[in-house]
């Protein structure tokens, strides 16, 4: 936004709420969001992607969980958050999914052994541990996917704003 020369406010919301706001309110964007076929027509996608994330299963160090494939995770309680693509994906497989309203709740659930595996971007997970002064020791047990994430804007966002954002994204 700064590179585009735009004035803006930055507010943090649970993903599902931010997603709905960006879908329904002009001049509202959501970051970071994976670009999926289901979402493609719902937004104007600011391209190129602004960053790449690595989605992983995280486990407590004392759990001794080791996964060699995605299917190896099937028998575990998996922590996801509402509105996330991984939440929908694992539910579609009928796996044991424990959905949280936001990502930080999964940190607490893992610390309390309420879930076995936490699905998150690896960097975000470690950031949340530090930010919330948690002493839990975790590690990545399986990489689910590496994907590009975008800034996605409501289709009724001002065309000049979109043009400025696209130009700024190309310069990053």
Residue 141 three-state SS: strand
* CB-based contact 124:51 (threshold 8 Å): no
What is the model's pLDDT at position 41? Answer: 96
The residue written with tokens 């966002």 in the block is 157
What is the model's pLDDT at position 85? Answer: 84
- Token pair belonging to 40: 């493609």
What is the model's pLDDT at position 15? Answer: 85
Cα–Cα distance measured from residue 45 to residue 41, given in angstroms and rounded to the nearest whole number:
9
DSSP 101-124: SSHHHHHHHHHTTS-SEEEEEHHH
Q: Where in the chain is the domain with CATH 3.40.190.10?
A: 54-146
> pLDDT per position in the chain (172 positions), as tens?
999 999 999 998 888 899 999 999 999 999 989 898 989 999 999 999 999 989 999 999 999 999 999 999 999 999 999 888 899 999 999 999 999 998 899 999 999 999 999 999 998 899 999 998 888 999 999 999 998 999 999 999 999 999 999 999 999 8
Cα–Cα distance measured from residue 119 to residue 168, given in angstroms and rounded to the nearest whole number:
31
* CB-based contact 169:42 (threshold 8 Å): no
Cα–Cα distance measured from residue 58 to residue 140, given in angstroms and rounded to the nearest whole number:
4
What is the model's pLDDT at position 63? Answer: 94
Name the CATH superfamily housing domain 54-146: Periplasmic binding protein-like II (3.40.190.10)
What is the model's pLDDT at position 16? Answer: 85
């Amino acid at each position: 936004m700064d590179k585009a020369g735009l004035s803006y406010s930055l507010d943090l919301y649970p993903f599902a709420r931010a997603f709905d706001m960006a879908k329904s309110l002009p001049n509202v964007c959501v970051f970071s969001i994976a670009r999926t076929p289901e979402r493609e027509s719902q937004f104007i996608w600011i391209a190129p992607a602004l960053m790449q994330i690595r989605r992983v299963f995280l486990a407590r160090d004392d759990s001794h969980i080791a996964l060699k494939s995605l299917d190896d995770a099937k028998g575990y309680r998996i922590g996801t958050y509402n509105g996330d693509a991984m939440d929908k994906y694992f539910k579609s497989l009928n796996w044991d999914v424990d959905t949280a309203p936001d990502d930080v709740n999964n940190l607490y659930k893992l610390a309390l052994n309420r879930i076995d595996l936490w699905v998150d971007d690896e960097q975000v997970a470690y950031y949340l541990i530090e930010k919330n002064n948690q002493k839990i020791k975790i590690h990545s047990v399986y990489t689910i996917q590496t994907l590009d994430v975008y800034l996605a804007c409501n289709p009724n966002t001002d065309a000049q704003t979109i043009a400025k954002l696209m130009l700024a994204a190309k310069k990053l």
